[in-house]
Structure 1
Amino acid sequence: TTTTSPSPDPGGPAPRLRVSGNKIVTSDGKPYRLLGVDRSSGEYACVQGKGQWDGGPVDQASVDAMKSWNIHAVRLPLNEECWLGVNGSPSGATYQQGVKAYVDLLVANGITPILDLHWTSGAYSNGPDWHCKDATATCQKPMPDAQYAPQFWTGVANTFKGNDSVVFDLFNEPYPEIGSDWNKTLGWQCLRDGGTCTGIPYEVAGMQDLVDAVRATGAANVLMVGGLEWANDMREWLAYKPNDPLNNIAASWHAYSFNACATASCWDTQIAPLAQQVPVVIGEFGQDNCGYDYMDTLMDWAAAHDLSHLAWTWNPWGCSTGGVLIKDWNGTPEPGVGVGYKAHLLTQNPYTIR
């Protein structure tokens, strides 16, 4: 069983983090879990004419609302073309400054920012019906592109190197195997190595390319790397883990109620063995009916296995089909999903001992 540290949260800025064995630890070696939420908008608003954060506040009051839930980590999806100034508004330096200002505010409040490459370039016409066919970064693509993604991570890493309180999630939800009729071996190879991938018409940046781009800047930040099937299939993650000279990589697992691996028996079989080897961060999770029963089961399991977790999403969009935690930016929880997750977070301390 897992017990949380009896000591209160020390306050102050977010801790500097690194990977040690199968734990994320602070600079003084204390195990630390990333416990919090995703805050969507940085990936889509700039290419949809909605500004940088879709009208949502990024001020102290909005951070205080997060702190009222005992949130200690916030994952921020980003758009590579807006960061690089290729597309969108704001873009380039203005977009970069917006990200940096929000990151600095979160760190000062003891909250770990996780910067996630979410929307990327690359024309992909073989996708499911819901998938956009646009070559620009206006929807989720199966893999990051070689044209811009390494440049994006070079820029992000140069901006935040030396600030080890910031975590980098290299790519949101890979699903390269969809281009090869679900050939998982080809999928895992594409995920790690990139290049020309079956069924994907653009040149792909693999996870090794992105690790190399970050480390070439001198940035030592903790990196997160996902698996296949929208980061839900982690079975071959260890075999295809990219090489990091700093050995500072955590596994990013997404765990929704509608994913293939959505039962405790699957988690015991597929996720628990991985969590014995490397830190596992549930980068996104939720359920599709705005309830909390599935999430409650997952949270009990995550706590027992010392997993970090970030629920989708801290946006007041109205919970009609799931994945919406709040009714307003003051942090009023949605019934079910929000009430349940807030109650869970209030029982947690990121400094865990086993």
Structure 2
Amino acid sequence: MRQYRRQRNGFSIFSRSISRVACAAFFVAATSVSAANENVANQSTVNKSIAAGFVHAQGQQIMDAKGDPLLLRGMGLGGWMLQEGYMLRLGNLGQQHVIRAKIEALIGAEATQAFYDAWLANHTTKADIDAMARWGFNSVRLPMHYNLYTLPVDQEPVPGQQTWLGKGFAMTDELIAWAKANNMYVILDLHAAPGGQGNDLAISDRDPTTPSLWQSDANQQKMIALWRKLAQRYANEPAIAAYDIINEPNWGFEQADDKNGCKETQNVPLKKLLQDVTRAIRSVDKNHLIIIEGNCWGNNYAGVLPLFDPAEQDSNIALSFHKYWNNNTRRDIQSHLELREKYNMPLWLGETGENSNLWFTDAIALVEGENIGWAWWPLKKLGFNNPLEIKPNAGYLALVDYWNGKGEKPSAAAAKKALMQLATQDIHFANNQFHPDVIDAMFRQPHSTATLPFTQHIIGPRGGVVSAVDYDMGRSGYAYRDNDSANYHVATGGQRTPWNRGTQYRNDGVDIAFDAQKKRHYVNHIEAGEWLEYTVTASKAGRYGLFAHTTAASEGQVMVILNNGKPINTAIAPSATWQAQALGEVELQQGTNKLRLTTVQGGYELLNLQFKP
């Protein structure tokens, strides 16, 4: 089973993964216009007339620069400024500082710094943002690590003062330039706050042996100063859609056993910090939309709202919620909808993902149906259920085995070579594997039940071969059917459902394995009731012999082939080795044909379908 990002506990409403095919996309274009120059008064309230050219809140709606409703469709750049162990197949080494220490122990401090410099330079580039715009995204959420912008409090030369670092600001400037070139917005998100904002350690790179954000006034003052600095720098930058003040606070203030703040009823320290940061931002920037997140990974707003009393109330604030591994019905987001209505504030799904295509489609259809924008997570990682997949070199995989206690310790030279190849080549956009099915599930499928060929299957005079894993692209129940197609373990209280057990090639429920020796993918774990549909194009009408390249360990496997709706019943003979078995004859019409393979009794594996004249 794949390594999952986070384990969720206890919160009942808890709402918390070039192309061979042209993916149709519903694209909401973002408009960027020049910001009006304006002196900002040192005050905590927002003027009723926000400077022209900025994304802003208007009642329960997020509006664009022209004052038209804006539905944000975005992606979070997880793993760039802030690594998490699961993204690198290092689940046991969750926090970035732990990963860094392990690297340094192998290759030394100087080489480790070179690795991280290369990582920051190559993980996300203009090519990534250009591709996001082509696919249909109109925004990008930047998860920021504070230590790229300022020193940790215990490293400040003068306690209580702030030392500013150029690296983070330069990276942010560059991302904004890439986004503006594509008419996209940027949301700044403080993902790792000084000291760390919760007991889910990896998401904020928290060291539990040092004071957390909530246990240190110095950490809180640094966070406030950082947001004031960011707001001052970007006060007149309309390409920034919003400031997402703090990612996923998860801390029990009232009860010691409430580890992640899901039972919190007051959230007094969180509310105060949100107030202090908002006031600091408004002292230098009254134009930008501010996004706040509740406790319990961004979902528990008990005691937080209203954020200010009526005399100080800020009308340019939106609520964020995060959604992972639960069901996709209106009931599952009802409490958030009620907050939007009660406090007359926009609602934004600030982070979600790490699931199957079916879940992605259903979640986006749900929130867009409620006029809620979203930001998915993440763009890329060492894993299959995101638009881009990082394919690591063999040396790095050997290093992972060592760190996970499954292999021998590599030499310093071998470790350095593998890590530098990962950071200079493997993570770069040009070498990432693009998953068109993920993009299709996010942009086209929420609005359409039509299916598309995953790749072109041409059957000519000499026949042709259709790879089993290249079934059509589309919704579950229309392009395929699999008995396990998504992970709902937070809602069901059960185990994490594996959907594609092989975590290979595609992100649907269809189970796909990889034969490393023969370098080919095939469908396995085929169960009764599951089916796959293929669009094949015949160059001319004719009769063909149909063969299935299969292997089966026992007797009784049966499939039904529907050729343009006409059934062909056949049994699979048991074979311990891969063999092409005759299924019968099919009559193909010239042009497009639909072939559906339905399993009546499972237990076999399928490599391809072969057409012979």
What TM-score bracket applies, with the shorter chain setting the length? Answer: 0.7 to 0.9
Partners of 2:351 and 2:271 in 1: CA distance: 21
Question: Is residue 2:184 matched to residue 1:111?
Answer: yes
Q: Deviations over 1:251-292 (max 9, x none)?
A: 01111115xxx55253353122223321111110014xx412
Partners of 2:60 and 2:328 in 1: CA distance: 22
- 1:121 counterpart SS class: coil
Q: Which residue of the other structure, out of 170, 173, 182, is the alignment partner of 2:245?
A: 170
1:158, 1:219 within 8 Å by CA — same for their partners in 2? no
Q: Which residue of the other structure, out of 244, 248, 252, is the alignment partner of 2:320?
A: 252
Amino acid at match of 1:127: N
Give the number of aligned pairs. Answer: 313
Question: Is residue 2:288 matched to residue 1:221?
Answer: yes
**Once the two structures are aligned, what percentage of the paired residues are identical?**
18
Question: Is residue 2:310 matched to residue 1:231?
Answer: no
Amino acid at match of 2:128: S
Aligned-pair distance for 1:332? 5.2
Q: Deviations over 1:175-196 (max 9, x none)?
A: 122673334124x222101xxx
Change (3 A) 1:28 1:332: same
Partners of 1:106 and 1:308 in 2: CA distance: 18
Question: Is residue 2:50 matched to residue 1:40?
Answer: no
Aligned-pair distance for 1:101? 1.8
**Residue 226 of structure 2 aligns with which residue?**
152
Q: Which residue of the other structure, out of 310, 313, 318, is the alignment partner of 2:375?
A: 310
1:227, 1:237 within 8 Å by CA — same for their partners in 2? yes
Question: Is residue 2:435 matched to residue 1:334?
Answer: yes
Partners of 2:201 and 2:151 in 1: CA distance: 29
2:289, 2:316 within 8 Å by CA — same for their partners in 1? yes
Q: Which has the higher strand share?
A: 2
- Structure 1 unpaired stretches of 5+: 1-6, 194-205, 348-354
Partners of 1:211 and 1:153 in 2: CA distance: 9
**Residue 466 of structure 2 aligns with which residue?**
none
1:43, 1:119 within 8 Å by CA — same for their partners in 2? no
1:44, 1:79 within 8 Å by CA — same for their partners in 2? yes
2:138, 2:183 within 8 Å by CA — same for their partners in 1? yes
Partners of 1:307 and 1:191 in 2: CA distance: 24
Amino acid at match of 2:246: F
Q: Deviations over 1:70-113 (max 9, x none)?
A: 110100011122212447xxx71132112112112212321110
Bigger radius of gyration among the two:
2
**Residue 67 of structure 2 aligns with which residue?**
29
Partners of 1:241 and 1:292 in 2: CA distance: 40
Aligned-pair distance for 1:55? 2.5
Aligned-pair distance for 1:150? 0.5
TM-score, normalized by length of structure 1? 0.75
**Residue 387 of structure 2 aligns with which residue?**
325
1:107, 1:165 within 8 Å by CA — same for their partners in 2? yes
TM-score, normalized by length of structure 2? 0.46
Partners of 1:111 and 1:28 in 2: CA distance: 15
Which structure 2 residues correspond to residues 169-208 of structure 1 after superposition, within 5 A? 169-177=244-252, 180=255, 181-182=257-258, 183-186=263-266, 188-193=267-272, 206-208=273-275
1:13, 1:109 within 8 Å by CA — same for their partners in 2? no
- Structure 2 unpaired stretches of 5+: 1-25, 34-52, 84-95, 101-112, 156-163, 391-428, 449-613
Change (3 A) 1:278 1:123: closer
Q: Deviations over 1:288-321 (max 9, x none)?
A: xx412222222111111100101001124223xx
- The worse-fitting range, judged by mean Cα deviation, of 241-250 and 34-43 is 241-250
- The worse-fitting range, judged by mean Cα deviation, of 238-247 and 143-152 is 238-247
Partners of 2:125 and 2:250 in 1: CA distance: 31
Q: Which residue of the other structure, out of 131, 134, 142, is the alignment partner of 1:68?
A: 134
Aligned-pair distance for 1:10? 6.0
- 1:310 counterpart SS class: strand
**Residue 198 of structure 1 aligns with which residue?**
none
Partners of 2:61 and 2:196 in 1: CA distance: 38
Amino acid at match of 2:57: V
Higher RCO, 1 vs 2 (CA within 8 Å, ≥6 residues apart) = 1
Aligned-pair distance for 1:164? 3.3
Partners of 1:291 and 1:214 in 2: CA distance: 38
Change (3 A) 1:263 1:74: same
**Residue 347 of structure 2 aligns with which residue?**
280
Partners of 2:309 and 2:132 in 1: CA distance: 34
